[in-house]
Chains A and B, each alone.
Chain A
């Protein structure tokens, strides 16, 4: 993994919107300790904002009543939390064994060549961001690509081309 410890501050205070606020309160009673809400809260932030800012981490810590360092630890340990804004379409390509065996590299190479987008980068127009991720659990239908949470199985360059054309 790369260093994820440099948080981005928005300069604006964060708070849950009404929907997430209610969700937080619904979930918190399910756990005997408030700290169990660290992961769910980070997900709520990411759902709301698309990424997790420094202010959001502070907000979660204070809302839960725990140390900011603990939320910071979780936010950086779990790699699905985006610690910076991503593209409108966040493309995750599985890089692990079965997808690698069945040609994930061609897809990565295509994106790099066609869109000039390398793993870890965001396109200049903010439309796409690309990330090579570890096994997505779709090895039987490899290679697999996940875009904004939707899975696209048995992927190849041609399929990806037509798929990307629909994502504006």
Chain B
């Protein structure tokens, strides 16, 4: 089932070095790139149907098309390497195993959109990864792939790595821009959209690492070759991170559209320890959980996930076995999103803390059914009332657990009632 488009060089020894990467094809698209008009590059990417791999799945070429022309302002590219969504660890492989693929992608994107200054926003936790990335960038500068004359062409491109410092919300594109500008990572209201007024108020494109890393293949082999993988509306391949209770957790490159359960059972070795499947989180912790019966006909693409009232998200699949205490899991989730709330919007800032305290109360077996119902109501009261979707990233999955595993919450509450009665 696995394919090797993005991960083609991952297995090579010292694949992160320019020498090895170049020997195996890195930067070979640049001649073709500079012989192609920028708008033709954009068209090719549009034709490929490449969708943003950060989670939202917005078509990359269409996004680039939103850039206003001739504003007299510089155009910036910000590469989103914040990868903070729990259960997501795909971009890390690109950063460490093939950073030159990313740099080549950056050159392609920058040329297409007319950008001369690119910032790679990498999460602060990627301490060792940032060193590998920076070393590759330094090599690329030394080899003339970056700097005043990219690949000998009259095209300047500077790439600067900007480290985050522990804030999930900076994966949100406008929070990421704020963070590069030196501010707290608090998302901006849209409009204006970054393509119009982004970094330093200038037109800006923000793309995920994997999105950018997909570009060399598309330019090299063409949109049709890319579309040969995946489904019609979700073309291409994706780096899936499979974690949780499976025998062979890890990162796998797969075409989009494969059956979810088959991937878990064959690629990831099935549920570990011979246990039964309890649920699947399909695309990072913010996506609503699927019960085994719901997952039965789900495929790994944007459309199928939407049809199952969940989301494709970041391709971070988490498998839950029968032993998982869902109430504990929900506490773990709310804890995360509360900790990461930027503190800007009232519903998220105040509401997630309230939810956390309620779930803790239920776990202490001091909760009542009213608390369970309040928790469910708060999901509705918080969701979509905020500048960004961080709060929804919490309430959407929590609502799914409350609805699909209600009995587990009721059991905690019943225990509390029994304890009360015994006193």
| Chain B residue nearest to A101 in the complex (CB) | B244
Give the contacts of B220-262 with A (CB-CB under 8 A).
241-245, 249-251
| Chain B residue nearest to A81 in the complex (CB) | B165
> Contacts of A43 on B, CB cut-off 8 Å?
124, 163, 165
Partner of B163, one of A40, A73, A136, A141: A40
Q: Is the CB of B166 within 8 A of A133?
A: yes
Partner of A95, one of B87, B117, B332: B332
Of the candidate stretches A17-25, A117-125, A143-151, the one touching chain B is A143-151
Interface size on B, residues (CB 8 A): 54
Q: Is the CB of B243 within 8 A of A73?
A: no
Complex-state Cα separation, A136 to B269, whole angstroms: 24
> Contacts of B320 on A, CB cut-off 8 Å?
101
Tell whether A134 is near chain B: CB-to-CB under 8 Å: yes
Of the candidate stretches A7-15, A27-35, A107-115, the one touching chain B is A27-35
Complex-state Cα separation, A87 to B200, whole angstroms: 38
Tell whether B172 is near chain A: CB-to-CB under 8 Å: no
Q: Is the CB of A30 within 8 A of B164?
A: no
Bitwise interface map of A from 83 to 113 toward B, beta carbon under 8 Å scored 1, else 0: 0000000000001111011100000000000
> Contacts of B163 on A, CB cut-off 8 Å?
39-40, 43
Question: Given A40-B163, A74-B184, A137–B332 Cβ distance below 8 Å?
Answer: no
> Contacts of B183 on A, CB cut-off 8 Å?
35, 38, 70, 73-74
Bitwise interface map of B from 80 to 94 toward A, beta carbon under 8 Å scored 1, else 0: 000111111100100
Q: Is the CB of A97 within 8 A of B332?
A: yes
| Chain A residue nearest to B339 in the complex (CB) | A1
| Chain B residue nearest to A34 in the complex (CB) | B182
Q: Is the CB of B181 within 8 A of A135?
A: no
| Chain B residue nearest to A73 in the complex (CB) | B184
Partner of B285, one of A36, A77, A96: A96
> Contacts of A146 on B, CB cut-off 8 Å?
125, 127
| Chain A residue nearest to B324 in the complex (CB) | A101
Bitwise interface map of B from 319 to 343 toward A, beta carbon under 8 Å scored 1, else 0: 0100010000100110110011010
Tell whether A58 is near chain B: CB-to-CB under 8 Å: no
Complex-state Cα separation, A95 to B333, whole angstroms: 10
- Residues of A at the B interface (CB closer than 8 Å) are 1, 27, 30-33, 35-40, 42-43, 64, 66, 70, 73-74, 77-81, 95-98, 100-102, 133-142, 146, 149-151
Q: A30-B160, A97-B333 are in contact. List 11 more A-B contacts (CB 8 A).
A: A31-B180, A40-B162, A66-B182, A73-B184, A79-B166, A96-B336, A135-B84, A137-B126, A140-B242, A140-B250, A151-B128
A-B contact pairs, 30 of them (CB 8 A): A1-B339, A30-B117, A31-B160, A35-B181, A36-B162, A39-B163, A39-B165, A39-B182, A40-B163, A74-B183, A77-B185, A77-B342, A78-B165, A81-B165, A97-B243, A98-B318, A134-B84, A134-B339, A135-B87, A137-B126, A139-B244, A139-B316, A140-B241, A140-B242, A140-B243, A142-B243, A142-B249, A146-B125, A150-B127, A150-B128
